[in-house]
Amino acid sequence: MSSSRFRRTFTALALILIASFAVTASAQDTRHVVEPHYPPVCIQLKAQLSAPGGRLTPAEEHMEDTARIQQAIDHCSPGHAVELSSSGDNHVFLTGPIHLRTGVTLLVDKATALYGSRNPRDYDLTPGSCGVVDKRGHGCKPLITVDDAPNAAIMGRGVIDGRGGATLLGQKVTWWDLAHQAKVKDLNQSCPRMVVVNRSNNFILYRITLRNSPFFHVLVSHTNGFTAWGVRINTPSTARNTDGIDPGPATNVTITHSYIHDGDDDVAIKAGPGGATNMTISDDHFYTGHGMSIGSETNGGASHILVRNLTLDGTTNGIRIKSDLSRGGLVHDVTYQNVCMRNVKYPLLLTPRYSKKQGDLIPWYRDITLRNIHILTPGRYILVGKDAKYPLGVQLDNVWADGLGDSKIDAEFANFIYGPEIGNLILSGYDVSNKQITGSKRGTPIDCAGKFPPFPVNQSVPESAENVPHYDHALYVSLDSTAEYHSVQSAVNAAPATGATIRIAPGVYRGVVVIHKPNIRLIGDGANPAQTVLVDDRSAETTGSTFKSATVTVTGDHFYAKNITFSNDWNRTHKQAYEGSQALALSLTGDKAVLTHVRLLGNQDTLYAASPKCHAATSSCKVSRQYFDHCFIQGNVDFIFGDAKAFFDHCTINSTPHSEGMITAQSKNNPDQPSAFVFHDCRLTADPGVTNVYLGRPWRPYAAVVYLHTWMGPQINPAGWREWHPGQTHRLRTAFFAEYDSTGPGAAPEQRESHSHQLKGAQASKFTLRNFFPHWKPDTSLNHSRHTATAVR
């Protein structure tokens, strides 16, 4: 790359750089926070369980210490601690939900572990509400509740272990399995949080290790004064929704000298009603997890926050502010300084579009300062303001991003100028009135050498036996914030060049999707294909071409789709005309495509099943092989067309109203081209009142269509087949249109068009799936058992 400065400009208005570089004293916890100390002990309890290998026996799983721990807490005077200690080989306490009281500290000694019960009934808010996945969620009591208990604390060099990966009693899943099920089904899990602090001023977490929480580790709300000092949070990165510390609506918060390794936000300031103010996050180290976040709740406002001396090593995000129109608000006077990052996917992510939820609560981020930030590895940068009225206001002071030339920057209303030869990232403001660009303040990159310590695992007590969730490589799409992506196209864009599985939550996703990558697999996670719909309303008239009108265009090989609907609803708002009404739901030209339990909805030209390299009249071109299993395909004119080698197995082909309907328009262009449409064990149905439907007409001279064992409704014209333009073209003479064992009121072999064929058994056997695809066995199961359900409309 040239040593000259590389300039990249985005037409924009919304990234405004603030001129002042001072950090005000108010942008932090207003308390003078010092290292806590252990209070005197009021009572010491001895462990009675050993858990060799991190496992309790079935009998021990019912020997809970809940009652004696709670009794000790209830009888301890304020300013004192209940101490949990090991005894010989016994180092484990087992508990269900407990409550801390005013001024009482729970002190867990070194080499001592407090295990959470894995009996969901212990945590029920209402009978049977915990340990389930449903729409409501939040059916569990926390493991430790601190409610209206000022000056309480949890301290010690021991461990509190939520056992999120242990199989629940009476069930075959873990807490973390439930979280994953909720993600796949776009529902909510009911799993207990580890520590919930509410209306309890001056609460302290000190030196404690928190492990394997079933859900959030620490949630703080409506509290003035919260300190986490020397805390270690250690939970697998694959354990979903295991946030580290989430200060909610609270003020005067300090999180310092702590180490966080989890499966969600390391710290997330959730500024709901009541607001989040005066917080200091300092001298901390984040490992796996989603980084340092503010949001997604910002509707209460977040301000006067200082993040200082932070390292992020392998987190998904670095500095993140996230919200949307359903819970947005003003975030201002936030300073990040002396931050080192490496191997972070999204080093800077500031967006008011965290989800597509709608509302009138506007996220507005301004007076945000980034000072002395050094990003050591490439990543993706997202810096977005809502619009010109609510711009993203960021001051940059000595922000360095190594390898920026290998990074991707997404921004709106912003100009970027950066010099890859020195690795300095300069984000500059755009002045609408005079188009002047002003650079940010330069400096010298901060030294991050030696600032990434390994996670200090607490080895004083063995970890509980956990089933660590496998890394889920799938990309998840939903219309709300339960998934990483909120449009199918954004997930496709994020997929590796080699392909990915994309799971789509129920909902209607309006917009065009274009897939050029191979091995893209789209899975609808609804109960049936009708619950997950990809739809748009373009037509040949609006786009200038039939082939540009598709809602979904797939050119990549090895495409797979399951339990999903592709639709083009152009005729919902436009009358179908003789010209310009072609409106594709799916344009599919990739090889070895498999679609199972998919609905394709349109009218004229619903499905283009074609071979991109076979438009010329040549016998040497490669034909795309495509397999449709238990699909529902709807339209009226030429609604299955193209020159692919396509097999339709147990599909329902439904005709919609039109004066004259044609199911297929196959376009095999020469006699040696190995192209044809085969319909096997299909059903040809129609909307009420529909008549005069043809099995097909030849778009090209050597069109080939075969129906095997197909039930045909009364809408089928007895002639079966029709010329492309009767009286003008003569393609039926060279086309191959055939049937074998057609049934139903539309089956009329003796009345069929004279150029068509009624096959014998030996002739028909050439078109069975095995013989039609001799070198390819389509797999509809995505490496699972084959589906046998009937087509779903």
Closest CA to 684 of 735, 614, 747, 612: 747
Is residue 341 within 8 A of residue 375, CB to CB? The reply is yes
For residue 529, give every residue at least 6 positions away whose Cβ sits within 8 Å of its Cβ, in sequence order, or none: 563, 564, 565, 597, 598, 599, 632, 792
DSSP symbol at 48: -
Euclidean distance between CA atoms 188 and 131, whole angstroms: 11
- Residue 606 exposed, middle or buried by CB count within 10 Å (0-12, 13-18, 19+): buried
For tokens 């019960």, the residue is: 117
DSSP result, 126-169: STT-SS-EESS---B--SEEEES-TT-EEE-SSEEE--TTSBPT
Phi, psi angles (nearest 5°) of residue 299: -70, -15
Q: Is 264 a catalytic residue?
A: yes
What does DSSP say about strands 330-342 and 302-313: parallel, antiparallel, or unpaired? parallel
Euclidean distance between CA atoms 249 and 222, whole angstroms: 5
Task: Spot the catalytic one: 180, 222, 285, 290.
Answer: 290
Integer CA distances (angstroms), 431 to 10, 12, 382, in order: 13, 9, 20
Euclidean distance between CA atoms 11 and 87, whole angstroms: 68
How many Å separate Cα 202 from the centre of its chain? 37
DSSP symbol at 218: E
* Max Cα–Cα distance, the chain, nearest Å: 103
Task: Spot the catalytic one: 264, 324, 525, 643.
Answer: 264
Closest CA to 418 of 437, 405, 429, 431: 405
User: Which residue numbers are catalytic?
Assistant: 264, 290
